[in-house]
Structure 1
């Protein structure tokens, strides 16, 4: 196909977020979408192979975590034959998709972003609120804003990537670099907690010409299905992103056993990611090449509060960092280190007072700050950790209880420990639980060593201090303790295009979603040198007599 110009994508900016204030048009629109969705549920979600629905008859349910007697959708688990068809269909679509002019792939994803932010905004939010238990604001920043940003900024970043060319050309030749899609298919395995990640994990490799088999999280099946329908409507060919909900072990095992498996794009638990890495290594002789492994996993994220910290800001940032979306963010605050003078100088009392204001309940009620945790296993895990903390001598200052009679609700919990290496200071809980360790003011530097060595994770962290020397010292000593670090700001809330997101150590491969860096992992560069002037003799000048 003729390419008759060098195109430049439109100016890209972050999607403006709506407030959902009482009486606002967006609140009315969201209420209408929620009411319609509740009237129509449960929905039926098929696998989607080559753009066509496939119903295997092997059914599972996505429950509504705030009202577990109801379910949002019934979905068809992909069986072995369906996964095989998905892989074959993806590989068959690969050549045409990779060869599509870049401007056309870009246009498809820019259209997808507009469909997300306009036509499907409230439907996506409603599915995220009911299915994943987010309140309106958390759903807005996720399913509307971040998903739109991933698609739009992705186009911008790929344009910049393709523009990176050799800076030098010898006389009589032209050097070029092309960024090929990987040889084979990409397996995308997405989590329940961010609808936007569901779109980004298959979208990132697809944008640079890869074909993808996408296995969504069971607890986010319906919102993921809506995203897949949006991508098809935007113009992604049916074979490019195959939608295969189903049991993770079976689907993933089949995909990574295939000789054309080229990459894993994963967000989920550290335990699962480590197992997949081992399984991929065990299959290495089956593959045509060395698969790329890209993963973002768990966190045991921290706030450290210096004696010079401004108390009110540190407290309010702590409440948001620990209890937004019930602590079910990879970046959520879990470990809190507070200087003794600050703790006793008002921090403790204000923290407990602000936490006591938090309303917990169904996310349909806009006055509720916290909703349910995602399901029964999560509820039991979180309440189990609270019990373990008590057994180990921890003091529950507030919260510590849960109620799963109707939905899976856990009260925001603050635990005070005298042991900085107690179980809830070390292990990921993934719920609304903050454990506090109070250190002596003179031990700030020693406490930084504790922060650095107590946990195997290294995802996010925040430093609260007015003293610039304290910020610099903490930044230096905690250089490898977090992939995203914040000064006087909570440890959650990375924005696409502003704070590239990812961590190292047990938290993942730190490939930085929301930046150009992630796209390097899904391309394979090829250098092309074209010579314009032929040789007249094979000999060198030094060969002359």
Structure 2
């Protein structure tokens, strides 16, 4: 089928604002609807999830299980893994769909994503939240801000930022000429690799390049397969043509191997571990002569995020923001607070506040709404976090002042753990843990400036960080000293919770390429601009005026 490309008007998209948050308060209709969705998904389980290639469901028989982290004997979904042959077919299918999709006018591409956002906000809201809660261990609030609000915001604001990007045109048009720029999709296909911890990230890793006219091969995280499949269902119902996104669960060696050796590989859109991202970058470099173009590499990886406290800080603000940032979603956010620097002048008050507040943190199944924390994602994660706790128990420079216990008999539960260390470069102050462990270093209050240097130079990561201060000069000094320590920097607020349309997200150093998800900047990475000059006046002669005698 040949897609028509006529543009009959210059369209203006509807006004875009952040999706309103629902509270799921006791007795509310929203809580009742979410509870019903949770029960329904349990009753239906385990669901069978296929690969989707060229719009067709493919069942390879190479099966894996997605379990419930808080109830690991219960299988939520059985999903089919792609093999090498199916990955190759998916790539070929994406490339076959490319021309019609990139020739589809922007208003039609935009309409699909705006409709998808509305579907996620209404018809699919409770289903995708329930899939995220049961499959990825999020409580209702964390599922709401991720699988509902953030994903909706990614799609709506993506359309807004694309419109703005397309509107960036040359400011000068000398007499007799018209200069313009078009933003072509990349030659080839985009490979999206999404993580387990945010359903919305999967929707954006595949969605952002596709919005700009690209085709995409999407490998979702195994532990987020069910919610990712719901994302695909939403986009399909919104009108996304077959083949534009190929949904390919599968083991990394088989999928990645087929993708990176293909000459039409055009871009990697990745969120995950620093180790994996570096390995992919090296593999891309080793294949560079095989590609038609230099592949774009866009990635957001790990973090060792900090809260830096000045002696003028408000104690209650520090305590509440630190507890929430360190322990919401079991510390499994790329942005979670993992290290905290507290002046000795405030330490007695802050310690008391942290211990008291910690005692109120409830841990348990996600479908018990009073629980603030659930289980960590899997056995591998549980064992890693457990090893850090056991290390801290034997380390002469570390003291556990709250938490420190764990139990994987029913689910992968780790109690929120607070460690105080006398060594600012101890393992738990410098290594990424990705779990509910917070380590605190108490510094001398009059050594604020040198401690800022310590914060800046103690980690290879630079994702998020927060400064708590009520002294404006101290705030200015801290913001300047920590300029490169975090791509997302917060003043008197926690280092988690970036919102699309408010704080574009991403960090530098070992934390990624800092292309800022939720902004026009990241969309620009998936287009290849073409400058066009059209002359309206004939050239009468080739000679320059200065050549005239």
**TM category, shorter:** over 0.9
Match of 1:386 among 382, 385, 389: 389
Q: Does 1:137 align with 2:138?
A: no
1:433 matched residue in structure 2: 437
Matches of 1:177 and 1:299, distance apart in 2: 37
Matches of 1:486 and 1:214, distance apart in 2: 32
CA contact (8 A) 1:392 1:422 kept: no
2:487 matched residue in structure 1: 483
Shift of 1:247: 0.7
Alignment of 1:220-259 (within 5 A): 220-259=224-263
Q: Does 1:21 align with 2:19?
A: no
TM-score norm. by structure 1 comes to 0.99
Match of 2:351 among 348, 352, 365: 348
Aligned alpha-carbon RMSD (Å): 0.6
Shift of 1:205: 0.2
Matches of 1:389 and 1:480, distance apart in 2: 29
User: Unpaired segments of 5 or more residues in structure 2?
Assistant: none
Alignment of 1:227-376 (within 5 A): 227-344=231-348, 346-376=349-379
Matches of 1:221 and 1:172, distance apart in 2: 56
Q: Does 1:495 align with 2:495?
A: no
3-state DSSP class of the match of 2:169? Answer: coil
After superposition, what is the alpha-carbon deviation per residue over 1:219-248, rounded to whole angstroms, capped at 9, x for unaligned?
A: 000000010011111111111000000112
Shift of 1:536: 0.9
Query: Which one is further off, 183-192 or 443-452?
Result: 443-452
Shift of 1:391: 2.8
Alignment of 1:434-513 (within 5 A): 434-513=438-517
2:108 matched residue in structure 1: 104
CA contact (8 A) 1:136 1:366 kept: yes
3-state DSSP class of the match of 1:262? Answer: strand
Matches of 1:519 and 1:4, distance apart in 2: 25
Shift of 1:277: 0.4
Query: Which one is further off, 374-383 or 245-254?
Result: 245-254
3-state DSSP class of the match of 2:149? Answer: helix
Shift of 1:253: 2.0
Shift of 1:544: 1.5
Matches of 1:392 and 1:185, distance apart in 2: 49
Q: Does 1:116 align with 2:117?
A: no
Matches of 1:61 and 1:160, distance apart in 2: 42
Matches of 1:276 and 1:400, distance apart in 2: 35
Matches of 1:121 and 1:105, distance apart in 2: 22
After superposition, what is the alpha-carbon deviation per residue over 1:154-213, rounded to whole angstroms, capped at 9, x for unaligned?
A: 000000000000000011010010000000000000000000001000000000000000
Shift of 1:390: 2.6
Alignment of 1:42-57 (within 5 A): 42-57=46-61
Matches of 2:369 and 2:316, distance apart in 1: 25
Matches of 2:346 and 2:311, distance apart in 1: 6
Matches of 1:445 and 1:519, distance apart in 2: 38
TM-score norm. by structure 2 comes to 0.99
1:64 matched residue in structure 2: 68
After superposition, what is the alpha-carbon deviation per residue over 1:303-340, rounded to whole angstroms, capped at 9, x for unaligned?
A: 01110000001100000000000000000000010000
Matches of 1:188 and 1:252, distance apart in 2: 10
Shift of 1:106: 0.3
1:175 matched residue in structure 2: 179
Shift of 1:392: 2.5
Shift of 1:387: 1.6
After superposition, what is the alpha-carbon deviation per residue over 1:48-86, rounded to whole angstroms, capped at 9, x for unaligned?
A: 001110010000000110100011100000001110010
Shift of 1:274: 0.4
Matches of 2:137 and 2:548, distance apart in 1: 80
